[in-house]
Amino acid sequence: MSMREDQHFQRRFDHRIWLRLLRRAREFRGTMAILAVVMILVGAADALFPLLNGIAVDRFVETGSIQGVESLAIVYAGLAFLQAFLVWALIALAGRMETGLMYRFRQDTFAHLQTLSIGYFDRTPVGWLMSRLTSDIQRLGETVAWGLVDIVWGVAMMAGIAVAMLFVHAQLAVLVLTVVPPLALVSWFFQRRILGAQRSVRRLNSEVSAAFSEGIAGAVTSKTLVREAENLREFSALTGRMRAASVRAAVFSALYMPVVLLLGSVGTSIALVAGGVRLSEGSVTIGVIVAFVGYTVQFFEPVREVARVLTELQAAQSAAERIAALLDTPPAITDRREVEDAFGTILEPHRDRWPRCHGAIRFDEVNFAYPDGEAVLDHFDLDVAAGESIALVGETGAGKSTIVNLVARFYEPTAGRILIDGADIRDRSQSWMHSQLGYVLQTPQLFAGSVAENIAFGQPEADRSAVEEAARMVDAHAMITALPGGYDHELGEGGSGLSTGQKQLLSFARAILADPRIFILDEATSSIDTDTELRIQRAIRTMLRGRTSFVIAHRLSTVRDVDRILVLEHGAIVESGSHHDLLAREGRYAALYRESMR
């Protein structure tokens, strides 16, 4: 996902996107309906107050009598209490809907992410996903819940006032309402410009942030290339443009308000002048004029609110589009219907019906290319017996990780088949396959939590003694007990606080605790100290015992113990055999090996 694409804002308001998202929020339909009714009542109550004022003037001020004032006072007080109650209900309901909507969207997006395949995460930057899951969802919740409140309330109030005015004095009402068309025009004109300027500000803002992080992350490079002055010049130009756009937005916002107020005053003047003429003719009472003045003042209050919400909805539309797109991304790899019936789904597997796995794996004429990539494998054949250990060696980009990604069914062949225990991998469910796998990644993935929790990540039911035994098997026990809290030592996010070698030992312990039939190791290229390296080699030897294994090793010292070494070049096997055979052959492997021993 490129920056540009991310910054792409649709200019027109598109109600279909909103409807699509609201359809996911079906459970709030009841709340929304109640909220709408409450807001219409609040708007109607707002429209009643000037009417009561007018009645009060005609009945009591004009006549100078206070006879019957109690009943009006009671109605007035009753209305005021009712409105206070309604406003309370409105805020409570809208607040509940806001949090409810955010909960629903978070839940849905997270659940959906669990079903997407690795390919999606390869393509999609983590930062992009994170901002979808946090700021976009927050924005949507706020805009939908409060925007809905403001719009329905504003429209109800304006409609209520228009109806009340027509009811009180139709002729006068029509005169006063002539300011509405220019008002609509002015609002449309200004809001468009405000929105446009705000968009530029946001776009420039993300460019400024990017420039900041590049400036910080690239500090060393910049310094050594003596780019400081150039960097500063570029940055000044960028922030200058941002300032101009911000000023534009502020100027338009600042102009819009007085223009609306001015039109409101025009409305009030019309009421006063036209009402005054009719008053002198005796065709209206003072009360009518009082009511009209109240209405014209009130009428313009929601205009700005409604205009603001429409702008916000339009601005939030890009967030809505991105969330909708995320929720609508189909998983690239799905289990067939029959497979799902037999094996269960990712979130609800039928483990009791799963067949046992022996771990024989065969690539049968497999072709593979990454989405919009060149072919990596072409008619690739490989037969691995159950329990056999295989090492994949070769230069960077040779296709080593690709082969194990296919075994793990993170991707599917574009042609040909992969068989596991003689059955097509697509005839088994992804969860079945993944539960047979122990995968130690090139970059060990640990999580915030204790060491023990990290080891038991895939087997939450494992007790402490099982965790310790797993750690002992891979020679990690001593390292763990040397940590300040031992097995209860808390790791930071991503396992921060440990060295790469330590992280790897923990991920070995995690893999061996799961006791998988198939073990995959994509070894880290980063160098570790010799002591840890020896430990890791012992751990690998333990892992390989009795398991079908694929070891991708960059340190060739690691691969001496495997049953068969495959040397890959451009996705093809160019040499294969045991360490000794291959050394004796004096070919590619022997050269690589000598190179790595130097």
Ligand X SMILES: Nc1ncnc2c1ncn2[C@@H]1O[C@H](COP(=O)(O)OP(=O)(O)OP(=O)(O)O)[C@@H](O)[C@H]1O
* Interface residues toward ligand X, by CB under 6 A: 122, 370, 373, 376, 394, 396-402
Shorter beta-carbon distance to ligand X: residue 173 or 520: 520
Shorter beta-carbon distance to ligand X: residue 463 or 569: 569
Q: How far is the CB of 309 from ligand X (least distance, A)?
A: 42
Residue spans of alpha helices (H) in 482-578: 500-514, 530-544
Give CA–CA dist 503/500, Å, rounded.
Answer: 5
Shorter beta-carbon distance to ligand X: residue 49 or 368: 368
Shorter beta-carbon distance to Mg ion: residue 344 or 394: 394
Q: Which helix (H) or strand (E) holds 449?
A: strand 449-450
Q: How far is the CB of 578 from ligand X (least distance, A)?
A: 21
Q: Which helix (H) or strand (E) holds 317?
A: helix 301-328
Residue nearest to Mg ion (CB): 401
What value, to the nearest 5°, has the Cα angle with vertex 260 and ends 256 and 266? 145
Q: For residue 331, give Cα distances in angstroms to 111, 136, 227, 246, 326.
A: 12, 22, 44, 41, 11
Q: Does 268 bind Mg ion (CB under 5 A)?
A: no
Q: How far is the CB of 119 from ligand X (least distance, A)?
A: 7
- Among positive and negative, which fits the CA dihedral 449, 451, 456, 458? positive
402 binds, among ligand X, Mg ion, none (CB under 5 to 8 A by kind): ligand X
What value, to the nearest 5°, has the Cα angle with vertex 273 and ends 268 and 274? 100
198 binds, among ligand X, Mg ion, none (CB under 5 to 8 A by kind): none
546 binds, among ligand X, Mg ion, none (CB under 5 to 8 A by kind): none
Shorter beta-carbon distance to ligand X: residue 120 or 354: 120
Give CA–CA dist 94/31, Å, rounded.
Answer: 8
SS3 content of the chain, % helix, strand, coil (to 5): 65, 10, 20
The mark string for 397-426 relative to Mg ion (x by CB under 5 A, - otherwise) is ----x-------------------------
399 binds, among Mg ion, ligand X, none (CB under 5 to 8 A by kind): ligand X
191 binds, among ligand X, Mg ion, none (CB under 5 to 8 A by kind): none
Give CA–CA dist 430/411, Å, rounded.
Answer: 11
Shorter beta-carbon distance to ligand X: residue 43 or 399: 399
370 binds, among ligand X, Mg ion, none (CB under 5 to 8 A by kind): ligand X
Three-state SS at 565: strand
Shorter beta-carbon distance to ligand X: residue 40 or 377: 377
397 binds, among Mg ion, ligand X, none (CB under 5 to 8 A by kind): ligand X
State the pairing for strand pair 518-522/548-552: parallel
Q: How far is the CB of 197 from Mg ion (least distance, A)?
A: 47
DSSP annotation of 516 reads -
Q: How far is the CB of 511 from ligand X (least distance, A)?
A: 19
488 binds, among ligand X, Mg ion, none (CB under 5 to 8 A by kind): none
- Among positive and negative, which fits the CA dihedral 478, 479, 482, 486? negative
Q: How far is the CB of 137 from ligand X (least distance, A)?
A: 27
Q: How far is the CB of 536 from ligand X (least distance, A)?
A: 18
Find all residues with CB under 8 Å of 576, minimum gap 6, and list them. 564, 565, 566, 567
- Residue 348 tokens read as 């609800």
Shorter beta-carbon distance to ligand X: residue 119 or 449: 119
Q: How far is the CB of 392 from ligand X (least distance, A)?
A: 8
- Structural contact between residues 205 and 242, judged by C-beta atoms closer than 8 angstroms: yes
| Residues in touch with Mg ion (CB under 5 A) | 401
